[in-house]
Amino acid sequence: MTNAGLLLAVATSVYFVSAIYSICISKWLPYTGIWVLDWVKDDTYYCLLLPILGPVMVYFVFFNWLGMKFFRTN
């Protein structure tokens, strides 16, 4: 596996674990004393917005790049 592939696999794994934690797991765990994790536990809006924002942003950036490539070659 190349370095770029390994970096992509690690970034995807970290993103998946943090998204699952913020959406599902944090609501059932007790308070930890770490302010960021407790903020995610108490929040009802941003804990859902931030995990969804990542894939949507990648989607729009890709199609922006694709549209630029189509515009340049026509």
Average pLDDT, the chain: 89
pLDDT value, residue 1: 62
Secondary structure string (H, E, C) spanning the chain: CCHHHHHHHHHHHHHHHHHHHHHCHHHCCCCCCCHHHHHHHHCCCHHHHHHHHHHHHHHHHHHHHHHHHHHHHC
What number is the average pLDDT over the span 22-45?
90
Q: Flag whether pLDDT at 74 surpasses 80.
A: no
Quote the number of domains for the chain: 1
Q: What range does the domain containing 34 cover?
A: 3-73
pLDDT-based confidence at 46, cuts 50/70/90? confident
